[in-house]
Amino acid sequence: MGYLRWVSFMLVAMFSASFAQAAGNVEDGKFVFKSYCILCHQDPDHPDEEQIRVRAGLDLRGVYGSESAIGLGILNEQKLIQWVTKPRALKPDTQMIRLPLTEKQVRDVVAYLETIPAPHEGKGMKKAPLQTRRCHSCHDFRPNGKKKVGPPLYGVFGRKPSIEGVPFAVWNEDTLDRWLKNPRAVKAKTKMRFSGIKQAADRQAVIDYLKSLHD
């Protein structure tokens, strides 16, 4: 990717990120995380499989927008704020404690959670291209990935759509290209809230990556 294209891509990414996180301050949130949450949840900056096993809490990478591992439903912003403010209100027998945080600190830490990407690069998976950054809040790319806002995408290339209402028999180069260019042009009422990828080369980079996600 040319430098200017990269810069404009990053600006768009930063703009949409700051838009989505208008409610809290990410840097302050990171500080809250490293002061409190780290006691039980592993440090997303130093992910370590060993730590995941020894710490009491769950791996929180990619938690935002995903299905809760403990039955809280889809973890959107509001749900995360409720959870961090008062875990017992959502799950009376939980081991997660209520922390002495101010309302602002809760909003900040949730804003920070929203920025932690999923550990989508599982063993043997090729490095995800920059163009897939926007997909991660809604899709899990790993083998046996979970449903997040959208379906898991490991093995999607070459299989039939798992979603209703798309006029395709199989996801291949051509149908994925049409979908990623403008999902709504393919399915007017799609739940995929995504404006599409304008540049053909960027779509190709995403498709090549999806193609690589096979056993």
Enumerate binding residues for ligand HEC (CB under 6 A).
32, 36-37, 39-41, 56-58, 60, 63, 68-70, 72, 75, 80, 83-84, 91, 94-97, 99, 109, 113, 132, 134-135, 137-139, 149-151, 153, 156, 161-163, 171, 179-180, 187, 190-194, 197, 206
> For residue 135, with 0-12 CB atoms within 10 Å meaning exposed, 13-18 middle and 19 or more buried, which class applies?
buried
Question: Among residues 7 and 98, whose Cβ is nearest to ligand HEC?
Answer: 98
Question: Among residues 10 and 39, whose Cβ is nearest to ligand HEC?
Answer: 39
- Angle, helices 173-181/200-212, rounded to nearest 10 degrees: 130
- Least Cβ distance, residue 64 to ligand HEC (angstroms): 9
The SS3 call for residue 74 is strand
- Least Cβ distance, residue 152 to ligand HEC (angstroms): 8
Q: Measure the CA–CA gap between 100 and 214, rounded to whole angstroms.
A: 45
The SS3 call for residue 52 is helix
- Least Cβ distance, residue 87 to ligand HEC (angstroms): 7
The residue type of 8 is S
- Do residues 49 and 75 lie in contact, with contact meaning Cβ atoms separated by under 8 Å? no
- Least Cβ distance, residue 7 to ligand HEC (angstroms): 20
Question: Among residues 26 and 113, whose Cβ is nearest to ligand HEC?
Answer: 113
Distances, alpha carbon 158 to alpha carbons 152, 169, 192, in Å: 14, 10, 20
- Do residues 141 and 132 lie in contact, with contact meaning Cβ atoms separated by under 8 Å? yes
- Least Cβ distance, residue 6 to ligand HEC (angstroms): 17
The residue type of 155 is G
Task: State which residue has the least CB distance to ligand HEC.
Answer: 150
- Do residues 109 and 32 lie in contact, with contact meaning Cβ atoms separated by under 8 Å? yes
- Least Cβ distance, residue 121 to ligand HEC (angstroms): 15
